[in-house]
Amino acid sequence: MLRHNISLDDRSISRLSSKGLSLKTLKDQLNDELDTSLELFKLQGLNIVKHEGYFYFDTRFIPLNEAEFCIVDIETNGSKIEKHQIIEIAAVKVQNKKIIDRFESLVYVENINPAITEITGIKVEDTKDAPHLKEVLTEFKTFLGDAIFIAHDVKFDYMFISKSMQKIGLPALLNRSLCSLALAERTIVSYRYALSYLNDSLNLNPNAQHHRAMSDVLTTYGLFLLSLEHIDENVKNVEDLIRFSKEAKRLKRPKFDPLVTEEETTK
């Protein structure tokens, strides 16, 4: 049976992304043989490599222009993984700032709350000929591979997809992840950082249809490219970028919303 979670503490994960982890420390935390564990991690999208006697995430050595980023968005018929499911998923693979592949699918579902239909425009009838969740997620897992998982407010999409995979018998995701919202807060001055607001203010995706998966993916792609133009010059590899998105100082937000006219503010 495949391991569902990485059995390493936070300190070890931090060292794997930066200074490296010794063989002894790595072995002490793994329940299986080292080679077996590394193979299982790889199947779940995480590559750990040995370099000069220490172990690292391979993303520690992948330059930004060589890395594969997978920008993902999902629509669901509710927010609780216990009783709701994905109804649409979309993703693009990005390398050297260019889209190199795309994935998009509706997912068969038996019911969609009218409020969700109002937000997304997706009706239950739209999914009647769509593939079932297991088929879609199996194909998505192959598409994702070991790419870096990017989403706007990444925790929700990553968690929901990972737990959905476990529900259908697939192993959980272990891919390294990056939050486009957190990165934007450190690279782009904005009054708000909701994806729709950023699109309105920055015109990232002129044909945006908010709350449809591929549209939001393409908006996030535009945001990601813009953020990359403003990262610190010392950010050279994937782990540098992930660290920057979490630890760099957030930019100061304007006091007033530039999208609201002076006339509107005085009403």
Residues forming CATH 3.30.420.10 domain(s) in the chain = 68-247
Question: Is the Cβ–Cβ distance between 231 and 240 less than 8 Å?
Answer: no
At 4, the pLDDT band (50, 70, 90 cuts) reads: very low
pTM of the model: 0.94
What's the whole-number mean pLDDT along residues 226-239? 97
pLDDT value at position 261? 66
Report residue 264's pLDDT band, with 50, 70 and 90 as the boundaries: low
Per CATH, the homologous superfamily of domain 68-247 is Ribonuclease H-like superfamily/Ribonuclease H (3.30.420.10)
Q: Is-contact 110 132, C-beta < 8 A?
A: no
Distance (Å, whole) CA 74 – CA 57: 27
